[in-house]
Amino acid sequence: MNRPTIAWKLYIAAFYVFLFAPLLIVAIFAFNASPFPSPPWRGFTLEWFFGTGAVFGKPGVLADPIWLDSIGNSFKVAVPVAVLAVLLGTVNAWVLERAEFRGKTFLAMMMLWPLVIPGVVLGISILAFFSRLANGLEEWLQTDLDFLRPGLTLVILGQLSFILTISTLIIAARLRKFDRSLEEAAFDLGASRTRVLRTVTLPFLSPALIGAGLVALLMSFENFNTTLMLVGSDAPLPITMYGQMREGATPAINAVSLLLMLGVGGIASVFALTSKAER
């Protein structure tokens, strides 16, 4: 088995070509001087990044309010999701690893559950539940509660519902490796509880906290299924891309995709570095 046949090697090579072909095509055609994202090649241009629409009638990504707004919306969702995922994930990890109580196994099982629910179903269930909640509360309080209606707040909650599972698992895995005698030593040396947390426990956890935050950021940025069901008038990036792909887009969508690839690649390499430090 250690002497691969030629056919096997060729298959591996073909596989990697297959893997990267679609991404390369997307990247290359971001620079095509043509109003359509398709061949033939009409020359190199940066118009689809910086253009104001003078050349092709349609603006490039960085001059188009539609794209800029959706990138902004994506950040408005991803940053709170990442921050909450790390904060609440740490508390959850603590409960899973440190507390002893009846029903802990059940709680641990429940925390895994969101991973086996299809994203679309998560989306509609949260949409339906929060609409009922909004109807009830609005009648009672006699005010409009728009944040419970489809919109960015609901998108944040919807994404958090399953991203929390991931961040909890990442942080709990790190906490499990923690040697508790280090904390005890600090207590014996007279440190207060908060001081131990700040100087011993959190520094040990920090690679996992950063990792969980980055994973949450990526997952939020990419999420489509759950977001689609909860989105209001402000569309995050994947929703706008979906709309443009259905209607037929300009190569600006390739430019956005390339920017996304570069951003994701950057975050991924930070993540790879921190997880290497963890080992």
Per CB under 8 A, contacts with another protein among 4-33 are 4, 8, 11-12, 15-16, 18-26, 29
Q: Does 272 sit near another protein (CB under 8 A)?
A: yes
Q: Using the minimum distance from each CB to another protein, give the nearer residue, 203 or 265.
A: 265
Least distance (Å) between residue 191 CB and another protein: 18
Q: Report the C-alpha gap between 163 and 215 in whole angstroms.
A: 9
Q: Report the C-alpha gap between 9 and 15 in whole angstroms.
A: 10
Q: Does 270 sit near another protein (CB under 8 A)?
A: no
Q: Does 265 sit near another protein (CB under 8 A)?
A: yes
Which position among 186, 210, 238, 252 is part of the footprint of another protein (CB under 8 A)? 238
Least distance (Å) between residue 169 CB and another protein: 8
CA-atom Rg of the chain in angstroms? 24
Helix (H, G, I), strand (E, B) or coil at 32: strand
Q: Report the C-alpha gap between 68 and 70 in whole angstroms.
A: 6
Contacts to another protein from residues 63-102, by CB under 8 A = 88, 91-92, 94-95, 99, 101
Q: Using the minimum distance from each CB to another protein, give the nearer residue, 52 or 133.
A: 133
Q: Residue 145 pairs with which residues in a beta bridge?
A: none
Segment lying near another protein (by CB under 8 A), choices 137-145, 176-184, 200-208, 262-270: 262-270
Least distance (Å) between residue 173 CB and another protein: 9
Least distance (Å) between residue 199 CB and another protein: 20
Q: Report the C-alpha gap between 178 and 185 in whole angstroms.
A: 13
Could you give the string, one character per residue 130-159, with x where binding to another protein holds by CB under 8 A and - elsewhere? Answer: x-x------------------------xx-
Q: Does 44 sit near another protein (CB under 8 A)?
A: no
Least distance (Å) between residue 194 CB and another protein: 13
Contacts to another protein from residues 186-215, by CB under 8 A = none
Least distance (Å) between residue 104 CB and another protein: 10
Q: Report the C-alpha gap between 150 and 22 in whole angstroms.
A: 33
Phi, psi of 43 (to 5 degrees): 110, 165
Q: Using the minimum distance from each CB to another protein, give the nearer residue, 54 or 234.
A: 234
Both tokens of 258, joined, read: 């390339």
Least distance (Å) between residue 276 CB and another protein: 10
Q: Using the minimum distance from each CB to another protein, give the nearer residue, 52 or 176.
A: 176
Count CB-CB contacts under 10 A for residue 92: 21
What beta strand segments (E) does the chain contain? none
Identity at 162, one-letter amino acid code: F
Residues 144-158, buried b or exposed e (16+ Cβ, 10 A)? eeeebbbebbbbbbb
Count CB-CB contacts under 10 A for residue 68: 12
